Structure 1
Amino acid sequence: MANFDFDQAEGLRRMLAGPKPRIVTFLCATPEDDKGAMLVNLAASLSQAGNDVLVVDACQRDYGIASRLGVDRNPTLANVARQECGLNQVIRSVPQGFSVARLSRRGEWPTLAESRRLANTFEVLVKQTDIVMVDGELAEGEAFPVRAMESSEIVIQVGTSAESIKAGYALIKRLALHLGRRPFGLLVTGASEAAAKVVYDNMASAASKYLAVQLTSMGSVPADEYLHRAASLGRAVVDAFPLAGASVAFRRLAGRFSSSGAVR
């Protein structure tokens, strides 16, 4: 059985142990609203801790963070790659304290040549910030839209339901088949620490036994009605309700990121 506490700390160190900028791609096996809430609040918590944070919406099918925050009409990195606008035009600061950019518009599948230019544009963008959080999904053919996402840290968000756990494991299996043997992070939301430990232990054991894949714990966030209240106010829970259980969890998670020494 994996050691939850050790793996959680070790996973966070690995996640941000390399040189800046750090790119962390988040994939989700929970409802869309859960993913958006997690990204907004984690990014806001990292920002409050003094980090320069950019969230890149790389979703083609799912409801991405740019749509959630109402900045989905801005030009995209694909527009920059086609020399239709400047890089500064795609970055939008949001009231929650971080910046957002979209990779491309829904249904916009670039050609091979455009994909190369898009990848170069993405690499230029990420060098301008401390940490880049990618709101990601697997595209057609089990591939990511830019190669940098494949080599980034990859974190899968799951809940405690059997459906979410099954979907999360299927996602890990797809990633392992496409990317080969490598570690992945697991973040459990809507769960107490005890429940998250059970989910992590079971998934880590199955992934190791049947896929030869190592999972590391990225932590957990409890279910909290204040998450929804903050979202209805257009604010992060750590700002609107700083004493809420979810706020404590997000600050703890952001603190672990920062204490790794790679995010300042």
Structure 2
Amino acid sequence: MANFRNDQAEGLRRMLAGPRPRVFTFLSALPDEEKNAMLVNLGASLVRAGSEVLLLDARASTGGIAARLDAPRRASLLDVARQEGRMAELVQAMPQGFGVARLAHATLQARAQLQAAPQDDLLMRRLGQNFDALAQQHDIVVVDGELGADDGFALPALAGGEIVVQVTNSAASIKAAYAMIKRLSATLGRRPFSVLVSGVGEREAKLVHENIAQVASRYLATQVALLGSVPADEHLGRAARLGRSVVEAFPLAGASLAFRKLAGRCSMGDVADMAPAGGMRMAG
């Protein structure tokens, strides 16, 4: 009876809290510059589609999205969990319309604290609770993620959302993307993933996806969906030099159309529900 009452109470709390935000954690087999450009343009496209968006820099390195945007140094989630900062100090509003927050500052001290955090149950519980509270203030959370030495995420809650690997059509990139999925599968167990293919059109993106999806299905028993693609487009660089998103600066560009389509997919439905296709072989 106690368990039944607890389940009822938890269900009631979820109803009162409203719909859960969608969390997309992005890993990348591309250089930081290309990943960050993608995150900025996706975030801006989601905002223009009507979503309240948060970009969370969850990387221990200095190459994350917060540094790319030159976001002012504010309290991080780790600071708040350690009671060295306040929730109200977490989010920095950006001109593109989304907010930016950090899991931790890219310092040696913060990295050491994050590495030691899994041994501190209270700290991990606070981190998770603070992330949930922060995410609940937004419709969509886009996470700039990376894999740790243990092949997991510094914030365990990220494993419960969508995990997307950015890839291009080079053999090295495809191999790196598959390696990430393989590492995550070994750590998280069987679960779906998605890929976002950059630098190519839709037809080539489908071939890249089929390549990865077939091998993941055969060797990992894991489904990989295609979130979408963004073609190579000179307007991306031109918009970046203007300090603007491509959807704002050049709304009719091919990349803008692709990002709007991506924003629509992220805003509606479950990306992981899209069935993967078969395709070319790749060594497991």
Q: Could you say whether these structures have the same fold, taking a TM-score greater than 0.5 normalized by the shorter chain as the test?
A: yes
Contact 1:72/1:102, CA 8 A, preserved across alignment: no
Q: Deviations over 1:152-176 (max 9, x none)?
A: 1111110111111110010010000
Match status 1:21 vs 2:41:
no
Structure 1 residue aligned with 2:128: 119
Match status 1:260 vs 2:269:
yes
Match status 1:244 vs 2:253:
yes
Contact 2:190/2:222, CA 8 A, preserved across alignment: yes
Structure 2 residue aligned with 1:197: 206
Matches of 2:62 and 2:163 in 1, distance apart?
17
Aligned residue type for 1:64: G
Change (3 A) 1:257 1:152: closer
Matches of 1:61 and 1:256 in 2, distance apart?
29
Pick aligned residue for 1:206 from 200, 215, 228: 215
Structure 2 residue aligned with 1:137: 146
Contact 1:60/1:139, CA 8 A, preserved across alignment: no
Matches of 1:114 and 1:256 in 2, distance apart?
35
Change (3 A) 1:145 1:261: closer
Structure 1 residue aligned with 2:181: 172
Matches of 1:47 and 1:95 in 2, distance apart?
11
State the Cα distance separating 1:259 from its structure 2 match: 4.3
Structure 2 residue aligned with 1:3: none
Match status 1:235 vs 2:244:
yes
Aligned residue type for 2:134: L
Change (3 A) 1:124 1:239: same
Q: After superposition, where does 1:154-165 map in structure 2 within 5 Å?
A: 154-165=163-174
Structure 1 residue aligned with 2:49: 49
Structure 1 residue aligned with 2:275: none
Q: After superposition, where does 1:217-232 map in structure 2 within 5 Å?
A: 217-232=226-241
State the Cα distance separating 1:75 from its structure 2 match: 1.9
Bigger radius of gyration among the two: 2
SS in 1 for 2:239: helix
Q: Which moved more, 1:71-80 or 1:35-44?
A: 71-80
Q: Which moved more, 1:181-190 or 1:71-80?
A: 71-80
State the Cα distance separating 1:232 from its structure 2 match: 1.5
Q: Which protein, 1 or 2, shows the higher relative CO under an 8 Å CA cutoff with sep ≥ 6? A: 1
Match status 1:70 vs 2:70:
yes
Matches of 2:216 and 2:30 in 1, distance apart?
19
Structure 2 residue aligned with 1:58: 58
Matches of 1:75 and 1:229 in 2, distance apart?
32
Matches of 2:96 and 2:19 in 1, distance apart?
26
Matches of 2:65 and 2:208 in 1, distance apart?
26
Q: Which moved more, 1:55-64 or 1:186-195?
A: 55-64
Matches of 1:78 and 1:28 in 2, distance apart?
24
Matches of 1:238 and 1:260 in 2, distance apart?
22
Aligned residue type for 2:167: V
State the Cα distance separating 1:117 from its structure 2 match: 1.9
Aligned residue type for 2:249: A
State the Cα distance separating 1:84 from its structure 2 match: 2.0
State the Cα distance separating 1:256 from its structure 2 match: 2.9
Matches of 2:215 and 2:269 in 1, distance apart?
28
Matches of 1:175 and 1:62 in 2, distance apart?
23
State the Cα distance separating 1:258 from its structure 2 match: 3.3
Structure 2: any 5+ residue segments left out of the alignment? Answer: 1-17, 272-284
Aligned residue type for 1:61: S
Instruction: Please tell me the root mean square deviation across aligned C-alpha atoms, in Å.
Output: 1.8
State the Cα distance separating 1:93 from its structure 2 match: 0.8
Q: Deviations over 1:22-43 (max 9, x none)?
A: 1111111111111101111111
Aligned residue type for 2:89: Q
